[in-house]
């Protein structure tokens, strides 16, 4: 049995209703699939009551049903679009009811990409990325303020999900990169405003390459449907390329020291770790979860060129 399978098996049996988050309530946006869904499962395994917030009703309910099948009452779905201000108010209301008047954790994870080069990017592409990755998390944090600006000595944690595109920039993703950089400012401001009196911790987690539909081949045809019905194609163009290599003949994942992408569960484990008491003195940080990718030069995923591959090889040879 693979170590990660064993971990999941042991977690499911031993922790709930005890666990690291016993008695706590967590809102996880974008928890209908991918990283958010895995985080919902892991938080529930660690004793949290989990609010699965997603625009996709079926997927959100599937996640909730899977969690509750292991033990009822651990999770609820609150379905809606995080860019809708009314939905955010409703989400906080439902979460507070579910948590018997308390909310302890928010993971601002909902998001998607709408790529394009700068000179061809429309205002709508630009504004949509800022709306989903900046305005929505801000509104959620603001609406939840009465549940975080409290002095009951219970832990309160906010985690905002960013990307290495936000840290390094990424060609073809100016809208996403700016938005993902923006959450760093949101995180640090929460830490400074709500840390001193209330002990609220806020951290950003910037993921590298995690295998979800966001990083699947664009040719697979996955898309996100916005509330106004616009279909946004997701994924990374891989035409003419092997699935696990940016250039035929190149070593797979040459830009990642671990030589593989992360799984959604591995990404979710980082979220749970940062939210946990083990990270009780980590605050205001941007934690990069990349398999070490960021310690090399940044690779342009958008045009998937690997011009720096030769340089990486040179660096590796020098190290040996």
Ligand X SMILES: NC(=O)c1ccc[n+]([C@@H]2O[C@H](COP(=O)([O-])OP(=O)(O)OC[C@H]3O[C@@H](n4cnc5c(N)ncnc54)[C@H](O)[C@@H]3O)[C@@H](O)[C@H]2O)c1
Q: Which residues are catalytic?
A: 176
Q: How far is the CB of 223 from ligand X (least distance, A)?
A: 10
Shortest CB 193 distance to ligand X, Å: 23
Q: Is the peptide bond before 50 cis (omega within 30 degrees of 0)?
A: no
What pairing do the DSSP bridges indicate for beta strands 25-29 and 49-54? parallel
Name the residue nearer to ligand X (CB basis): 62 or 251: 62
Q: Binding segment for ligand X among 29-37, 66-74, 97-105, 186-194 (CB under 6 A)?
A: 29-37
Residue whose CB is less far from ligand X, 128 or 283: 128
Angle formed at CA 177 by CA 291 and CA 310, multiple of 5 degrees: 50
Cα–Cα distance between 76 and 100 in angstroms, integer? 13
User: 131: how many CB neighbours lie within 10 A of its CB?
Assistant: 17
Contact in structure between 56 and 34 (CB atoms under 8 Å): no
Cα atoms found within 13 Å of the Cα of residue 112, Cβ hemisphere only: 25
| Contact status: 82 vs ligand X (CB under 6 A) | yes
In the structure encoding, which two tokens stand for residue 185, read together? 């400012």
Question: Whose Cβ is closer to ligand X: residue 154's or residue 220's?
Answer: 220
Chosen residue from 52, 140, 161, 186 binding ligand X by CB under 6 A: 161
- In the set 210, 236, 256, 272, which binds ligand X (CB under 6 A)? 210
Give me the least distance between CB of 104 and ligand X, in Å please. Answer: 21
Tell me: does residue 309 bind ligand X (CB under 6 A). Answer: no
Stretch binding ligand X (CB under 6 A), from 53-61, 88-96, 144-152, 310-318: 53-61
Among 7, 11, 17, 56, binds ligand X (CB under 6 A): 56
Judged by beta carbon, residue 50 or residue 150, the one nearer ligand X is: 50
Q: Whole-number minimum distance, CB 166 to ligand X, in Å?
A: 8
Which of 200, 270 has the CB closer to ligand X? 270
User: What distance in Å separates the CA atoms of residue 109 and residue 318, rounded to the nearest whole number?
Assistant: 39
Given candidates 21, 43, 48, 54, which one binds ligand X under the rule CB under 6 A? Answer: 54
Cβ 272 vs Cβ 31: under 8 Å: no
Q: Determine whether 225 is exposed, middle or buried from the number of CB atoms within 10 Å of its CB (0-12, 13-18, 19+).
A: exposed
Overall residue count recorded for the chain in this entry: 320
Question: Computed from CA positions of residues 222, 228, 229, 232, in that sequence, does the dihedral angle turn out positive or negative?
Answer: negative
Chain residues that interact with ligand X, rule: CB under 6 A: 30, 32-36, 54-56, 59, 81-83, 109-112, 132, 161, 163, 207, 209-210, 212-215, 224
């Amino acid at each position: 049995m693979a170590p990660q399978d064993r971990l999941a098996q042991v977690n499911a049996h031993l922790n709930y209703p005890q666990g690291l988050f016993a008695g706590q309530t967590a809102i996880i946006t974008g928890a209908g699939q991918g990283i958010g869904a895995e985080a919902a499962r892991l938080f529930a395994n660690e004793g949290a009551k989990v609010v699965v917030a997603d625009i996709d009703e079926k997927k959100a309910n599937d996640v909730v049903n899977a969690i509750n099948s292991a033990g009822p009452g651990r999770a609820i779905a609150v379905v809606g679009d995080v860019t809708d201000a009314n939905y955010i108010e409703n989400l906080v209301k439902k979460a507070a009811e579910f948590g018997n008047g308390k909310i302890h954790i928010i993971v601002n994870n909902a998001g998607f990409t709408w790529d394009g080069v700068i000179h061809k990017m429309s205002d709508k592409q630009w504004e949509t990325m800022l709306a989903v990755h900046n305005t929505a998390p801000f509104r959620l944090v603001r609406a939840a303020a009465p549940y975080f600006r409290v002095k009951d000595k219970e832990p309160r944690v906010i985690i905002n999900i960013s990307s290495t595109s936000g840290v390094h920039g990424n060609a073809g993703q100016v809208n996403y990169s700016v938005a993902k950089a923006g959450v760093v400012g949101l995180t640090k401001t929460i830490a400074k405003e709500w840390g001193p009196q209330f002990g609220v911790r806020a951290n950003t987690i910037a993921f590298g390459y995690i295998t979800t539909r966001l990083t699947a081949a664009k040719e697979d045809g996955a898309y996100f449907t916005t509330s106004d019905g616009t279909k946004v194609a997701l994924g990374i163009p891989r035409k003419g390329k092997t699935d696990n290599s940016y250039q035929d003949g190149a070593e797979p994942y040459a830009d990642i020291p671990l030589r593989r992408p992360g799984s959604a569960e591995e990404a979710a484990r980082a979220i749970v770790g940062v939210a946990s008491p083990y990270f009780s003195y980590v605050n205001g940080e941007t934690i990069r979860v990349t398999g070490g990718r960021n310690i090399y030069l940044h690779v342009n995923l958008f045009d998937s060129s690997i011009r720096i591959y030769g340089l990486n090889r040179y660096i590796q040879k020098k190290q040996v």
